[in-house]
Amino acid sequence: MISLEKVQQSELAQIHFLQKVAFESLYDTYQDEGSPFKQTQASLLAKFKRPLECYFFIKQQDKRIGYLRVVMDDSGTTAKIGPIGVDPLVEGQGIGTQAMQLVEQTFPEVKEWRLSTILQETTLCHFYEKMGYQKTGEIVWIQEEMALFFI
């Protein structure tokens, strides 16, 4: 069983660390400069301070094993999830599924959730489709061998 805990500004260093852990493998594969792996602490702080954004730790018992960010639109009925990162040591345990369900329950006023993921990462694509998310058809090529598709 997992829980979500809202991140405080004083805890951003831990989010930065979790980004490095969670996204290192994808960065090694794609060398994408826009990867959360490459995000600076200053950039993370700037996003954290935006009024319609919030970060949550994903906790398993008392251990912080991942994080996610929610970005609300002005109406409060549409939100974007992303990034969501989990420590690779606990992947495959249903933590991502539980985290997605919890964040949806935390924001019952949101009627439409949006996100993007790497088209070439079939495991990620399958994960979101299994959760009931559907592709919009919008694809943005980041580089020759990497595209994002939107859900």
46 — phi, psi (to 5°)? -60, -45
Residues 60-98 have pLDDT tens digits of 999 999 999 999 999 999 999 999 999 999 999 999 999
Domains of the chain: 2-114 (3.40.630.30), 116-151 (no CATH)
pLDDT at position 108, please? 96
Helix and strand counts by DSSP (H, E) for the chain: 4, 8
pLDDT at position 77, please? 95
- pTM given for the model: 0.92
Average pLDDT rounded to a whole number, residues 28-53: 95
Q: Is the model's pLDDT at 41 over the cut of 90?
A: yes
pLDDT at position 121, please? 87
pLDDT at position 149, please? 78
Tell me whether strands 116-118 and 112-114 are parallel, antiparallel or unpaired: unpaired
